[in-house]
Each structure stands twice: as C-alpha cells, then as structure tokens.
A and B are shown apart, each in its own frame.
Chain A
Amino acid sequence: MTCDLVELMSLFDWCQWLEHTPFALAIAESTWLFPLIEGSHIMALPLSVGMIVIFDLRLLGLAFRDGPVSRIMREVLRWSKVGFAVAFITGVLLFMTHAGKAYGNGFFRVKLMLLLILGINAAVYQMVFYPKMTEWDLARRTPAGARLCAGLSLAAWIGVIICGRTMAYQF
C-alpha cells in the first residue's frame, strides 16, 4: 500500500519535473511553437487515423468492396505510418508541456488505454488474420474476426479523438 503510493507519487513527480524542464517550458511559453505543435498533432489525424478508417471500412464491407483487401491495406498503411510519426512526436511534445495536468486527467488516461487497446488489436490482426489474407483478398464479406478487429479499431479511434479533444478543456 505504502509502496504503491510512493510509486504513484514518483510518477507524478516525474511529470511535474518534465513539465518544468527548460525544453518543455520553452515550448509552453512560446507564442507560436505551442499552437504549431498542437495544430500539427490535430492535422495529422486525417493521415494517421483517417487512413486506418479507410482500411476498417473495407474490412467491414462498407466501402471499397471491389478492391483486394491486401492491396488497400498496403497502400493505406504506407501513408498512415507517416501520419502516426507526426502524431506521436507532436503528442510527446504536447504531453511534456502539460505533463502534471495530463497525469491526473481522466480523459488522458482513457486515451492512453484506448491507444494500448488499439496497439494490441493491430498486433492481433497482424498475427491472426494477416497471414491468411490472400484466402479472402477479394471477398466482399471478410471473416467475422477481421470485421470485429475493424469495428473495434473504428470505435476506439473515435474514442481517442473524443478523449483528446475533451482533455484540453480541463487544462
């Protein structure tokens, strides 16, 4: 119990320390750097999440039904990786400037949990469904498990956007 408390405190202390490093302070106090980083984080959404949504829609049979699943996946992921790189780097920088407040923010915690779930979901797809994709590449109706992954991805990404937008109101 005491040990847990000490550990939690230290993580919070680390967040507080991070927020007050000269690097984080310089970003937070800059009149144009913070808006630029925050804007980039949000404007990376169509490239990162948007491209994933397109693949999810194909898996769910809601769009691009005539396109081979593996081809669409390749095309879409190639570009979404660029978007995620931008989102991750800007996200880390934004976290640094508000680490102390983000630590205790419920929406931020849910967002991180959802990102973790999305990572596991993507790994499961990669391990279970990706190797057998050629078998149903042209199928309009993809396997139930693949559709489940796609549905989960779609719902969780919407959740990430909601949490990300809402947490900013509490700073």
Chain B
Amino acid sequence: MTSWLWTLVNWCSTTALIVFVRDSKFGMPAVQSIHLVGITVLLASVLVLALRLAGLAMTDWPLPWLERQLKPWAVGALTLVVLSGTLIFVGTPAKYLASNPFRVKMALLGLAVLFHVAVVRRFLVMEPDARPRRHLVVAAVSLSVWFLVGWAGRAIAFVP
C-alpha cells in the first residue's frame, strides 16, 4: 500500500466514529449486523436473478422486469455493505491487510462485480429461452462467485 494511503487509513482509524465503532461494547456488533442485513438483501437479489436465468424460479416474469424490480434494492444493499465494510476495515486496517481471506474476498468481490457488469447484464436483456445452457452456466458462475465472497468474508474470523 502506498504511504499516503496508509497515512490516510491510519488517520481514519483514530477518528471518533471509528474509535467508537471499534472500542465500544456494541459498536462493532451493530456495524457487523448492518453488514449482514445488507449481504442478505444483496445476495437474495443475486439468487433470484440466477434462479430465473437458470429457469428454476420466477419463470412467469421476463428477466428485464425482474432486474428492474430488484436493482434499487440490490444497489442500496451493496452501498450498505460497502459502507459498513469500510467502517469495519478502517478500525483495524493492519489486521485486515495481513489477512489472506480478506485479500481473497476483495479479489472475489471485484470479480463478482466485473462478471455482473460484463456478462450477467448482457444475459438479462437477452431473449430468455434462446440459449438455456449458456444461461445456466452464467447463473452458476455468478452465484458461485458472489457466495464465495461471503464465504471468504466468514473465513477472516478463522483463517490467518
């Protein structure tokens, strides 16, 4: 990490809000809870789209409609997850930077967003029944990568 960024992160970890979250009895559980509520809503959106892509649920409705309905909730949830995640990170940045699961988690998160923007989004506007097998593969990859982000996050507590 470049030195100015390190200085910024270190400064962050001394501000009142961060110290409160890190050191008060219920600060960290509260932020972790918000993180988890956000994950629940975000991954539920991912799940619904993947199940629909694979033709396993919500087949009554066209994919673009489902995507439109879910989008504000998914974007809101992702914002909540990133904000709460940042708050967790800046309290003890050294701990997370040294953690292997954390690095894997961030790489997977980048991959998940990239895959959604570059691949999944194209399939969401396509004729749903044109290539069912391809849809199944895209759904499986998207679902796996997003859930692996969660698993990697959980591993931070158990794996150095």
Contact = CB atoms under 8 A, between A and B. Distances in A.
Interface of A: 35, 38-39, 42-43, 45-47, 49-51, 53-54, 57, 63-64, 66-67, 71, 75, 78-79, 158, 161-162, 165-166, 169
Given A39-B151, A57-B73, A45 B36 contact: yes
Given A63-B73, A66-B65, A45 B154 contact: no
Nearest to A43: B150
B31 to A, nearest CB: 10
B104 interface: no
A50 B39 CA distance: 9
Interface residues of B, number: 35
Contacts, number: 81
A165 B33 contact: yes
B11 interface: no
B158 interface: yes
Given A54-B44, A64-B69, A166 B150 contact: no
Given A46-B44, A46-B46, A165 B29 contact: yes
A32 B51 CA distance: 30
Interface of B: 26, 28-30, 32-33, 36-37, 39-48, 51, 57-58, 60-61, 65, 69-70, 72-73, 147, 150-151, 154-155, 157-158
Contact of B158 (A35, A46, A66, A75): A35
Nearest to A78: B57
Contacts of B43: 45-46, 50
A38 B155 CA distance: 10
B43 to A, nearest CB: 3
Contact of A50 (B41, B57, B60, B61): B41
Interface centre among A38, A53, A165 (most CB of B within 10 A): A165
A50 B150 contact: no
Contact of A51 (B44, B46, B155): B44
